[in-house]
Amino acid sequence: MIEARRLHILRAVADHRTVTAAAAALYLTPSAVSQQLAALEQETGHRLVERSAKGVRLTPAGEILLGHTNAVLAQLERAEAELAAYGSGEAGTVTVAAFATGIAQVVAPAVARLARTAPGIRIRVRDAEGDASVPMVLDRQVDVAVAVEYRGAPPADDPRLTHVPLYAEPFDAVVPLDHRLAGAAVVPLAELAKDPWIGPYPGNPCHDVVVLACESAGFQPRLEHSSDDFRAVVALASADAGVALVPRSALRGMDLSGVVVRPVHGVAPTRRVFAAVRRGAEGHPLIRPVLDALDEAART
């Protein structure tokens, strides 16, 4: 008989590619993970993982079991949801991981709405970059992720997750007050090809949006300054350190007196924001109201 907790470990190893990283995500020791993998191999009668200097990868038998693992764990999530519904499930804590502007845009309004409509549900919010929250859901560190689509993100049909689109927002061009394009109604990105740029670090989903937008305009941005804090990005642009692309919602409430903000000419670069939960958990009586409240906040 295969133990479900060992399937959790197999999936974590497949996701993180090393025993050490999987152990850290699961709050286990590497030796405990290795022992559980060995026990799983004994239960199945197959070698499931191969170790190398670069980490761990699944064998063909491991890949077969991983496909069933996603289905089994999703069904267990559904079972927990139905049992919670049977027991009313009207009170409890839901942990939501989201990036800073996502918290301001949809999470905080959702918290306020739930305080009125579902006062028994307590929301615990964790600040996490747009590419960090989905792994936190998969590792069961949080219940809901509010994340940004990025290169390498799990696709909408990933069997491990239920994906709920929330909103999309454009990036605006931010240039210093004395910039040659400060008087333009819209900014063609190609005109910024020779400027120094300010932007997020590689790995941040917004970095991907900026780079892909510039590549579509025919150039690689010369990123001279890096920060994941858009207030810092705007401050550097105010100091004439360069130009930037910033999500529109991130500009709200900022001091923009030292910069000019203009729409991008043509199709604006866009970040798409979604909520994600472990597949099968979307019907949980605590999680469903949270997803509904996030959707309502996004539409409002």
Instruction: Look at the alpha carbons of 21, 22, 26, 31 in this order and tell me if their dihedral is positive or negative.
Output: negative
pTM for the predicted model, two decimal places: 0.70
Domains of the chain: 4-83 (1.10.10.10), 90-166+272-299 (3.40.190.10), 168-271 (3.40.190.10)
CB 95 within 8 A of CB 124: yes
Locus of tokens 């690689």? 220
pLDDT score of 162: 95
Q: Which amino acid type is present at position 128?
A: A
CB 273 within 8 A of CB 148: yes
What parts of the chain have a pLDDT lower than 70? 85-90
Q: Distance (Å, rounded) from C-alpha 271 to C-alpha 191? A: 22
Q: Distance (Å, rounded) from C-alpha 45 to C-alpha 2? A: 11
pLDDT score of 85: 61
Locus of tokens 């909520």? 275
Nearest CA to 244 out of 196, 299, 182 is that of 196
pLDDT score of 89: 59
pLDDT score of 30: 86
Q: Distance (Å, rounded) from C-alpha 281 to C-alpha 175? A: 44
Contacts of 250-257 spanning 24+ positions with Cβ under 8 A: 250/101, 251/172, 251/174, 252/104, 254/230
Q: Give 85-119 pLDDT, tens digit per residue.
A: 656 656 788 999 999 889 999 999 999 999 999 88
